[in-house]
Structure formats: C-alpha cells, structure tokens
Structure 1
Amino acid sequence: MPLNPGRLLMLAVLMVMLVPDEAARVVSGDDGGGALCAGQTVCVGGPQRPCYKMAYFQDVSSRVAFREAVQACEMDGGSLLSIQSPTEQRDIENLLGGISDGDFWIGLTRVDQTEPGNSFTSCPQLYQWTDGSVATFRNWYLDEPSCGGEACVVMYHQPTALPGLGGAYLYQWNDDRCNMKHNFICKYKPGESTNQLQPPETRQAAFLTPTYVKSPVCMLLLYIVIPTIPLLLLILVASGTSCFQRISRR
C-alpha cells in the first residue's frame, strides 16, 4: 500500500529514532527490573534468543497504522513482533512494565478469506504471523478475535483502564482495524540486531555478563521530536508559499 509523503517522512524520522545511541542491552531471563526504553535494543537470555525494540509514542496522534509498523520494522532489519510461546509472552510483558497506556501492534493478521482452501476455515485459524512463523501460540482476550472488519492484532497495554469481563486490558491480544494507530514492537532474529551494533568479542562478553541499563533520554526524544513533525511540515509549506508569492509579484 503506497504511503503519502507525510507518512514517509514520519517513517524516516521513526527509523532514526529506532537506531539506538548505544550497544544492545542484554538481560537475563530472570531480570524483571525496569522497562524497555523506546528505540533501545534489548536481548533476553542469550545469543540464541531474539532481540526487541519498542516504538512507543506518548502523543496518540504520532502512532502508526499496522502496515506502517510492519514497514518500519522491516526497514530496520527486523519484523513486527511474533510471539512463539508463553515464555516469550512473559518476556515481552516484563519488558513493557512501567510504561503508560498505549496498545502495541504485533505481527499477527488475518489472511484473505477468499484464498483457496480457506472457505471452511474458522476465523481464529485465519490469523498468521507476518514474519512467516508457524507458531500456534495465542493469547486472546475474552471473546476475541471478533473478526468482521478487524483483521490486525494488538497487544493490550492499558494499565489504568478498568478491568473488563476478561480481566485487565493488559498483555492479552485483540483484533483491531488495520488503519487504527498504535505503538509497536520490532523483533530481530538471534544475532542480527546485535551484530550491527557490537563486534563479536564485545557481544560475547555482554552475553556472559547480562546487564540492563535504563535510559529515559531516548524516550524523551520520541516524545519531543515525533510530535513536532506536523508543525515542521506546516512551517515548511507556509515558507514555500510565501516565497512563491514573492517570486510571482516580480
């Protein structure tokens, strides 16, 4: 699906924000302290486990649609988050602790029901991971997926919301319209993200001594830079219009 220039600019700036200003952080499987900082690469458990980056926007208007989230992760060398098992689900929950309200796109979407062989398939079975994973683990909220016009999946993250019939709106999955705007999480195959950031000897040493570093600066940059993009575009258009009018009068 083609993107208009404004959304392309948003993705370009988003890519800059996704690039961390320091090496990937490695946390042991038992480390539950702290929260994943936006734009920071975190690897859980060791070199054979995936790494993750979060794109979190406090300004709701700066969040992105499902397809934009997929493209942003692919442009950064990863893919929109797929969750393979209850263990990985718990890892993600631990990394998101302490973050304010805001659901996250994950890479699960419903395939076209008109495809051959799908005519007698129940709706929940039509959901597939965008990275090609065949994992069957699911963590749906009560009575989800509701299907209909909602074909893309978010992970609930609304810690301040009142619980519903299925409990708190926290970490369970819900199908949503693909053009809705949400945060998202990118996932990187073992070694891919850290290979770009650290030499082999440094990477090996990091896995031998797991650490977790809280770095609120990168999240503050997201809060400040991304929301100002519409204003910058407005100033640019106004300046161009003014220059054109001056030239036309000559």
Structure 2
Amino acid sequence: MVTLVAVAAGDGARVVSGHMVCPGADRPCYKMAYFPSVASRVSFSEAVQACSTDQGNWTVSLLSIESEEEQRTIESLLQGLRSDSDSGITDGDFWIGLTRAEASEQNQSCPKLYGWTDGSPAPYRNWYEDEPSCGGEACVVMYHQPTALPGLGGAYLHQWNDDRCNMKHNFICKYKYSDPETTTRGGSPRLGPTTASSSTTEGKAPPPIGDTQSLMLVVYILLPTVPLLLMILVASGSCCCQRLHSSKSRSKTPDQTNLWISQNQDQPA
C-alpha cells in the first residue's frame, strides 16, 4: 500500500519512495514510485493506470514535464530519493507520461508524434542523443543508470529514451490540485497545495489512501452483524416477556401451603 504524505522539497530534501512530495506553493506535487526488485516494476500501461485516479481534489497522471525548470525539479527529487529501507536507489529507469501516437499524415517526423498522456501541449523535450529511435519503441522513460558508463550522449541519467511499452520500469506520478469551488465558478483550478515542512500542509492535502480503505473495511465487517444483533434483541425481548407473564401467573395462583393450614384450622377439635 502506498502512503501519500505531503512534505517540502528543497536542497538536500529526503524524498521517500511512494510518498507525495510538494516542491512549493501553487505547483504540482509528485510521487516517485521506485521498486528495488526488478520483478516488481511495471509496464507503461500499468504505470498510467496506477497514476490515473483522483484522490479527493487531486487530478493524478503519469508525469508530464512542461519546462526545463520542472525537469530540474524532478532531477533534484531523484537525487534525494530513498527507498522504504531508507537507502539510496540504484539503477532503474522511470516511466514518464510521453508516448507516440500513430501518424495522421504521411512523412510526419517521428519526434513530433510524441505527446503527453495528460493532454498537456507542452513542447519541452529532453531526449538523449540519437533518441527517439522510434521503431517498436513508443513509450518514454527518464534514464536513471548512475552506475552505467557514459555513452555518446553522456551519462545515462535524467535524459529521455523511448522504450518498448511492455518493459518494466519505475514510474513518477504528477498531482495537480483542483479547487472544486473555483472550477464550479468557471475559474482555473489552483495547482499544488501550500508547501509544508512536515506531514501536514496549510492547504488541503489528500487523506492517506489507508484511511479510506480502513473505513470501508470496518463497514464491511460490521454490516453482516446487523441481522445477528437484531435477532439477539428480539430473542432477549421475547425472553423478558415470557418471564414477566410467568411471574404474573404465579401471583394469581393460591398458595397451596396456606390453603392446607387454613382447612385444618376450620375442623372441630
């Protein structure tokens, strides 16, 4: 189970895998999902599905990077990322929400076919040299290979590469905060909660997923016991009524012992 906790992200900040981190006010928040075991990593479609759920007023999607500034923010978060065991992370690329669509026109260049799964029109790209290679590789990862020797394009770290969509990688989710009041009034949603330095925020933060699941579990456990409780109440009421009736009946029956004494007293000596 992944816990979402909003914390401030600054220089040297400790970022925990599976926890949400908010770099600043009115900015998106992120969740870095890192799996030490390769067997636990997911395909592109599984990463999209894991991110594409709403948490309260949060709109969640696989990461879109809309500017060089946001790219640098993600790089900083990856540098501070720690696994659940509080150790640093090793080699393992991260899915981002960039994928290639089918060409709608002939002679349309391959790089122009890539778009963000959240619908962002941002044109920013940070491809590794000679990427995208296209062919059967239509989904995009951010390189994270700190132990690999540099290639022609430099270190395999934080630049982008297209890969086969069924490959298994880590992933990064992006959280945008949408205020229902401003959305109802026709205004633009506000992005990101107020930054906090602990596990709470001054703005609205999404409740941990575990709270909702725990509440539903309690409901599912208690609901089947309602008929049993009703049967116990009915049985108890019936028993009380029988005892009350029996007590009244005994009070109306003559005391046979007293009657026998009374009859003896009436006989002549």
Q: TM-score range by the shorter chain?
A: 0.5 to 0.7
Which aligned pairs between 1:42-121 and structure 2 lie closer than 5 A?
42-46=21-25, 48-75=26-53, 77=55, 78-97=60-79, 98-113=88-103, 115=104, 118-121=105-108
Corresponding position of 1:237: none
Return the index of the structure with the highest Cα Rg. 2
| Cα separation, 2, equivalents of 1:34 and 1:167 | 26
1:35/1:125 CA distance change after superposition, 3 Å? farther
The root-mean-square deviation of aligned C-alpha atoms, in Å, is 1.9
Any stretches of 5+ residues in structure 2 without a counterpart?
Answer: 80-87, 180-191, 200-269
Which aligned pairs between 1:189-200 and structure 2 lie closer than 5 A?
189-190=176-177
- 1:35 offset after TM fit, Å? 4.2
Kindly indicate whether the alpha-carbon contact (under 8 Å) linking 2:6 and 2:198 is maintained by their aligned counterparts in 1.
Answer: no
Corresponding position of 2:18: 39
1:119/1:212 CA distance change after superposition, 3 Å? farther
Q: Deviations over 1:180-227 (max 9, x none)?
A: 0000000011367xxxxxxxxxx97x63xx4278xxxxxxxxxxxxxx
Shift >2 Å, 4+ stretches: 210-213
SS in structure 1 of the partner of residue 8 of structure 2: strand
Candidates 162, 166, 170, aligned match of 1:179: 166
Q: Give me the TM-score of the superposition, normalised by structure 2.
A: 0.61
Kindly indicate whether the alpha-carbon contact (under 8 Å) linking 2:92 and 2:145 is maintained by their aligned counterparts in 1.
Answer: yes
Q: Percent identity?
A: 65
User: Aligned AA for 1:144?
Assistant: E
| Cα separation, 2, equivalents of 1:211 and 1:86 | 25
Highest relative contact order (Cα 8 Å, sep 6+), 1 or 2?
A: 1
Q: Which has the higher helix share?
A: 1
